[in-house]
Amino acid sequence: MSLTLVQRFQQRQQKTKSPADRYDVTVNSPKSVNILDTKDKFYVHSLEGCQTSVYRLSDFKPLAVVNHMFDRRNQHLFSETAYFDYKFKTRKSSLNVFAGKPVESCFSHNGKYLWVTYYRRSYDQNAIDPSALCVIDTDADTIVRVMPTAPLPKMIACSPDSRTIAVTHWGDNTMALIDVSSRDPKAWKYLKNITIDRRLFFKFDENDAVKIDRDNNCGHCLRGTVFSPDNNFVLIGKMGGNGIAVIDAVKQKYIGTLAGMKQNLRHLVIKHGYIYCSINKTGFVQQASLDDFLTHAAKNTGKLFTAWKSVYVGEGARTVVVSPNGKYVFAAVNNKSKIAVVRTADMKVIAECAADSYPVGMDISEDGKTLIVTAQGKSGNGGNSVMIYSIKNNRLKV
């Protein structure tokens, strides 16, 4: 297995030694990346830049920039402002005039739309107000709708049948289901906001000038989110707690939590009958049979499911992706600034590759030949980089 850095976009050094190393001012705290193979594109979401950069996958040419800025000229994008029983505390007017900080995203309707969550609205420094998400038309690469959310949404997932979107709220132990069965974005509507154990209510002063660390003051800190292949369940990792919360997507209710994996679970992926999770602090990737997990959850929710295989990849395991054939897991190892490759057959690390400081987001192409990784950085150190690797294996197809 070999990973070769073939292209980089970065905002740290304007004068470069290689034409494949491109200075790009739109790369500003890149949080995540999504590849859309069918349209020969990939999307990079820059948290602090409040932008999504669009590139061509085949030759890495920049195609467009989507600005997450909302003023009086684009208020038509908002069909509603209120979100269930939530209240806006930091502002009484012009609620939909803000800059959105993009975090994660997912495709729906066979790649027609890209859903992007906003960490917070720019005027809400402590992320206690309802935030928002936007929907990008991937044909035109323009925003076609903005919807409110609970505070601090991070992960977002689309059901395999492209009829339901799940939005996980890091900020208050809730997740929401959206009906997107219509092809018309104006017809999409929220179904329910579901509480995981206990909804958080904020007691600190919303006008307090002191910035509160909402990365840690977040209850369960709900993160990894994925639908089961049959569309019936949503699995959510409790990064700040312990276990995987199980949601019945049909009945729209929280069933309970299944523990037994290592704590501080960040990311979840389902592929070829297996569930994979990254364990952030201690640096593991774990694998289990999806059928065994769901069967156990149906019968013993609230108890332990311990049938996990584990491999150490390095502290700070963040996003993981699985190769199209299911034979390899690639992990962004944030604290060690590297990419680790795990063989799924025996859950062993078979390769490692250096990455720019603090890699966090990742996606792999459908042919298994291209891996794109974002390095966000920490407190102004490192990061501001998008790395594109070519994957080769002389023995097996990826």
- Tens digits of per-residue pLDDT, 235-267? 999 999 889 999 999 999 999 999 999 999 999
Examine the domain organization and report whether 238 and 196 are in the same domain: yes
- Residue 208's pLDDT is 60
Cβ atoms of residues 368 and 391 within 8 Å:
yes
Pick from 255, 281, 301: which residue ends a domain? Answer: 255
Rounded Cα distance between 328 and 349, Å, is: 9
Residue 44 in any domain: the answer is: no
Examine the domain organization and report whether 193 and 139 are in the same domain: yes
Residue 79 in any domain: the answer is: yes
Strand extents, DSSP E, 152-307: 153-158, 164-169, 174-179, 189-195, 222-227, 233-238, 244-248, 253-258, 265-271, 274-279, 284-289
Examine the domain organization and report whether 231 and 278 are in the same domain: no
Q: Cα separations (Å) of 200 from 103, 177, 217?
A: 21, 19, 10
Rounded Cα distance between 148 and 146, Å, is: 7
Q: CA 51, 114, 102, 203 torsion: positive or negative?
A: positive
Three-state SS at 296: helix
Model confidence band, residue 205 (pLDDT cutoffs 50, 70, 90) = low
In the block, which residue shows the tokens 């018309």? 184
Rounded Cα distance between 4 and 8, Å, is: 11
Examine the domain organization and report whether 16 and 76 are in the same domain: no
Specify which residues 185 forms β-bridges with.
none
- Residue 223's pLDDT is 96
- The predicted model gives 342-370 an average pLDDT of 97
Residue 50 in any domain: the answer is: no
Three-state SS at 298: helix
Examine the domain organization and report whether 192 and 134 are in the same domain: yes
Cβ atoms of residues 380 and 48 within 8 Å:
no
Examine the domain organization and report whether 272 and 191 are in the same domain: no
Rounded Cα distance between 233 and 175, Å, is: 13
Pick from 200, 222, 255: which residue ends a domain? Answer: 255
Examine the domain organization and report whether 236 and 103 are in the same domain: yes
Rounded Cα distance between 217 and 204, Å, is: 11
Residue 61 in any domain: the answer is: no
In the block, which residue shows the tokens 């990973």? 3
**Res 379 pLDDT > 80:** no
The CATH number assigned to the domain holding 21 equals 2.130.10.10
Specify which residues 328 forms β-bridges with.
343
Model confidence band, residue 38 (pLDDT cutoffs 50, 70, 90) = very high
Q: Give percent of the chain with pLDDT exceeding 70.
A: 96
Cβ atoms of residues 102 and 45 within 8 Å:
yes
Rounded Cα distance between 34 and 25, Å, is: 19
- Residue 301's pLDDT is 63
Of 173, 213, 211, nearest to 195 (Cα)? Answer: 173
Residue 45 in any domain: the answer is: no
Examine the domain organization and report whether 169 and 104 are in the same domain: yes
**Res 64 pLDDT > 80:** yes
Residue 58 in any domain: the answer is: no
Query: What is the average pLDDT score of the chain?
Result: 94
Give me the half-sphere count of Cα atoms (radius 13 Å) on the Cβ side of residue 258: 23
- The predicted model gives 327-337 an average pLDDT of 97
Amino acid at 387: M
Model confidence band, residue 299 (pLDDT cutoffs 50, 70, 90) = confident
Examine the domain organization and report whether 92 and 14 are in the same domain: no
Q: What is the pTM of this model?
A: 0.95
Residue 250 in any domain: the answer is: yes
- pLDDT higher at 395 or 192: 192
- The predicted model gives 182-200 an average pLDDT of 96
**Res 298 pLDDT > 90:** no
For residue 333, give its domain range: 1-28+259-398
Model confidence band, residue 21 (pLDDT cutoffs 50, 70, 90) = very high
Examine the domain organization and report whether 246 and 269 are in the same domain: no
Model confidence band, residue 395 (pLDDT cutoffs 50, 70, 90) = low
Examine the domain organization and report whether 75 and 189 are in the same domain: yes
**Domains in the chain, number:** 2
- Residue 171's pLDDT is 87
Pick from 232, 255, 278: which residue ends a domain? Answer: 255
Question: Which pair of structure tokens corresponds to residue 142?
Answer: 């323009």
Cβ atoms of residues 83 and 130 within 8 Å:
yes
Examine the domain organization and report whether 232 and 360 are in the same domain: no
Residue 33 in any domain: the answer is: no
